Amino acid sequence: MSKTTYQGEKIVLALGFFDGVHLGHQALLNETVKIGKAKGYKTGVMTFKEHPLEFIFPKYTPWLITSNDEKEVMIHDLGIDYFFINTFNEKLMKLSPEKFVVDYLLKKYNIKTIVVGFNYNFGYKGAGTTKDLIALGEKFGFTVSVIPPCIINKNPVSSSFIRELISCGQVEEVKTFLGRDYTLTGKVVEGKGLGRQYGIPTANIQLQKKIILPNTGVYFSHVYYKGKCFYGLTNLGFNPTFEKHPFSIETYIFDFEENIYGDDITIVFKKKIRNEIKFETVDALVSQIKDDIEFIRKNYIH
């Protein structure tokens, strides 16, 4: 899906999966836009609906940083004209590097330049390298721009590195590499109502599957609802104080009393406050949550 329908115009095409649209991806996409403006060509991104590993090695498929819808919005916001999202399947997986370029890319798009990252691989078993792509460009009449690694604080910026930071709860560090705070968007659903019983109502959200989550614990967050920003305390975990409590993502929203069941909210993770704790009594849990709320109010709400 793209904002407008592709009419076969000359195009600068960026290739990759672009999970997270992090600062390394942004450098690649900015170069795509720059080349497009200089040459007077349209710009596009060609990616896949599913991570290729979902098809090749399902067990090793990573949980993702962004949904396809979020990815599309971010890519268009960076100035890319077309967002081409295709299905990865067995036929495509088995194409040789040359056939992938000739029979898949060049038949679909009027490519004048391809832009890829330094570690881009393509074709059957990832046999094609950037050198192969450059050689194919010389053979079939397109140029190739290879973007070097983006290094921040001596770390190469990559989706896998950012996923690791998120899963370790290092949400403050994520912004350095992602270029923005880590967020989750989900629909508010009915929980067990335990918070409300104790005067601490929370919004429980339901997520799309395979979205990477920070590790269990309590986080200071911002909550966006219908364009407005509120402060929040978000807990991820199994609430071990209660027997067989399912995993939940629940947020206490400061100074907020609206009924928002069925609506979407976006949680922006700012800082981890503490790990998940098993309390001996429900009263001890409630007391700790109230302490957490006061801690956030005192230290982060101005």
What tens digit of pLDDT does each residue of 106-127 get?
999 999 999 999 999 999 989 9
Query: What percent of the chain is predicted at pLDDT more than 90?
Result: 77
Of the candidate CATH numbers 3.40.50.620, 1.20.210.10, 3.90.105.10, 1.10.15.40, the domain formed by 10-156 belongs to 3.40.50.620
**Residue 57: its pLDDT value, please?**
80
pLDDT for the residue numbered 194: 64
CA nearest to 30, candidates 118, 134, 115, 110: 115
Query: Does 209 have pLDDT greater than 90?
Result: no
Domain boundaries, the chain: 10-156, 181-299
Q: Among the ranges 9-13, 60-64, 241-245, which has the highest mean pLDDT value?
A: 9-13
Cα angle for residues 20, 301, 275 (degrees, 5° grid): 60
Model pLDDT, residue 56: 79
**Which region among 26-35, 85-94, 141-150, 155-164 has the lowest average model confidence (pLDDT)?**
85-94
Query: Quick one: fold of 181-299?
Result: Elongation Factor Tu (Ef-tu); domain 3 (2.40.30)
Question: Which of 209, 216, 226 lies closest to 265, judged by CA?
Answer: 226
CA-only gyration radius of the chain, Å: 22
Provide mean pLDDT across the span 174-198: 87
Reply yes or no on whether the pLDDT at 47 is more than 70. Answer: yes
pLDDT of residue 243 exceeding 70, the answer is no
The model's confidence at residue 238, banded by pLDDT at 50, 70 and 90, is: confident
82 neighbors 109 (Cβ within 8 angstroms): no
Predicted local confidence at residue 84, as pLDDT: 97
Pick from 127, 150, 117, 246: which is nearest to 191 by CA?
Answer: 246
Question: Measured at the alpha carbon of residue 8, what is the angle toward residues 7 and 14, in degrees to the nearest 5?
Answer: 110
> Predicted confidence band at 241 (pLDDT cuts at 50, 70, 90)?
low
64, two tokens: 């993702």
Residue 143, pLDDT above cutoff 90: yes
What is the C-alpha separation between 173 and 20, in angstroms, rounded? 15
Contact 38, 68 (CB under 8 A): no
Contact 178, 20 (CB under 8 A): yes
Q: Which is it for the CA torsion 176, 230, 199, 188, positive or negative?
A: negative
Tell which residue, 244, 243, 260, has the closest CA to residue 201.
260
Residue 261: exposed, middle, or buried by beta-carbon count in 10 A (0-12, 13-18, 19+)? Answer: exposed
DSSP 35-78: HHHHHT-EEEEEEESS-THHHH-GGGPPPBSS-HHHHHHHHHHT
pLDDT band at 62 (very low <50, low <70, confident <90, very high): confident
Give the global pTM. 0.91
Question: Is pLDDT above 80 for 225?
Answer: yes
pLDDT at 55: 77
Instruction: Give 54's pLDDT tier (boundaries 50, 70, 90).
Output: confident
SS3 label, residue 222 = strand
pLDDT in tens, 265-281: 999 999 999 998 888 88
The residue-averaged pLDDT of 220-244 equals: 86
